[in-house]
Amino acid sequence: MDAIGYLDDDLIEEAESVRFRTVEQPRRIYSRPMRIAALTASAAVLIFGAFLFPRFFLRMGSTETAPASAQYEAATEEGLLQAETTAEEPADALLMTSSDSAPAAEEDKAPALAAGPADNGTAASALTWAKAEDTVTFQGRTYRPMTEEEMAGWLEEGLVIPPETEPAGVTEDASASELADASVFIPEEADSSRILVEIQGEGIYGFVVQK
């Protein structure tokens, strides 16, 4: 036998794990260092925001939704955010629950998305993840995970983050690196055919509406 055939098992395992990535593991769009940087930056933004906007973050935990205008009035007073449009009732949190239509299986328990800043200004709605089919349902539409090519293409086009969901410092047409620093997770498009979902502790995933 040649020497290469005797290489340590853990080296072979590490390499072959790429081939056997299972459906249960969502495809990671960003590299590990970028994910760590994104999580660290998100935590920093949340902590920083909690000091600046305590009322806003206290409201995030409640089931009542505050008028978006009140939030932006407060932000404007602080002089940190320039609200260009008046949003409708923002979502306090997005919850991931097992879809009713998903097959009943222990493996299909979906993790909960962390509460984040308001979404596109639409009413609070639940994002459900049908794990078996590897799709998400949002606002009545079903989305499938993007391929890496689709995600790369979307980044090249320029992801557009709606102003209502921009933390300070993030501009429109954010590049991928700027997006990684933001805690926003649902950008808006004209037809909402593509959405971006951040799963706390997991990563950021692109989804495209399933035809």
Partner 1 sequence: MQLLEDGKIIELFFQRDQQAIVHTQNKFGRYLLKIAMNILTSRPDGEECVNDTYLRAWNAIPPQRPDALSTFLGRITRNLSIDRLRRQRAQKRSSQYARTDSDDEGNVVSMMGAGYDLSLDELSECIPSEQTEKGTPADEVGEALEAKELARTISDYLRTVTEEARKLFIYRYYDMESLKESAALLGITEAKAKTLLFRTRQGLKGYLEKEGWSL
Q: Residue 22 Cβ, how far from partner 1 at the closest point, in Å?
A: 7
Q: Residue 32 Cβ, how far from partner 1 at the closest point, in Å?
A: 9
Nearer to partner 1, 147 or 210 (CB): 147
Nearer to partner 1, 33 or 61 (CB): 33
Segment 94-99 long-range contacts (CB within 8 Å, at least 24 positions apart): 94/119, 94/125, 94/126, 94/127, 94/185, 94/186, 95/126, 95/127, 96/126, 96/127, 96/128, 96/129, 96/136, 96/199, 97/126, 97/128, 98/128, 98/129, 98/130, 98/131, 99/128, 99/129, 99/130, 99/137
d(CA 146, CA 176): 15
Nearer to partner 1, 32 or 211 (CB): 32
In the beta sheet, which residues pair with residue 197? 205
Task: Enter the tokens of residue 49.
Answer: 């925001």
Nearer to partner 1, 20 or 51 (CB): 20
User: Applying CB under 8 A, which residues contact partner 1?
Assistant: 1-9, 11-16, 18-20, 22, 148
d(CA 68, CA 87): 6
Q: Residue 210 Cβ, how far from partner 1 at the closest point, in Å?
A: 22
Q: Residue 70 Cβ, how far from partner 1 at the closest point, in Å?
A: 46
Nearer to partner 1, 15 or 36 (CB): 15
Q: CA angle, 44 as apex, 42 and 46 as ends, to 5°?
A: 70
Q: Residue 10 Cβ, how far from partner 1 at the closest point, in Å?
A: 9
